[in-house]
Amino acid sequence: MNANDGQSRGRLPNKVAVITGGGSGIGRASALAFARQGARIVLVDRDADALSSAADAVRAAGSEVLTLAGDVGDEATVTMHAEAALARFGRIDILLAAAGWSTGTSVLDTTLDQWDAVLRTNLTGTFLWSRAVLRAMRESGGGSIILVGSQLAIAGGRANAAYLSTKGAIGSLARSMALDHAADSIRVNVLVPGAIDTPLLQTAFRRRADPDAARAASVARHPLGRLGLPEEVAQAAVFLASDESSFTTGSCLMVDGGWLAA
Catalytic residues: 163
What one-letter code names the amino acid at 73? G
CA pair distance 195, 151, nearest whole angstrom: 8
Q: Nearest to residue 147, comparing CAs of 196, 199, 191?
A: 191
CA pair distance 35, 70, nearest whole angstrom: 22
| Cβ-contact 123, 169 below 8 angstroms | yes
| Cβ-contact 256, 151 below 8 angstroms | yes
Contacts of 141 (CB under 8 A, 6+ apart): 185
What one-letter code names the amino acid at 98? A
From residue 105, alpha-carbon distances to 20, 126, 158, 207, 242 in Å are: 24, 22, 8, 10, 37
| Cβ-contact 148, 170 below 8 angstroms | yes
DSSP reduced 3-state for 36: helix
From residue 100, alpha-carbon distances to 6, 62, 125 in Å are: 30, 27, 9
DSSP reduced 3-state for 62: coil
Radius of gyration over alpha carbons of the chain, in Å? 17
Beta bridge partners, 253, equal 191
CA pair distance 250, 133, nearest whole angstrom: 17
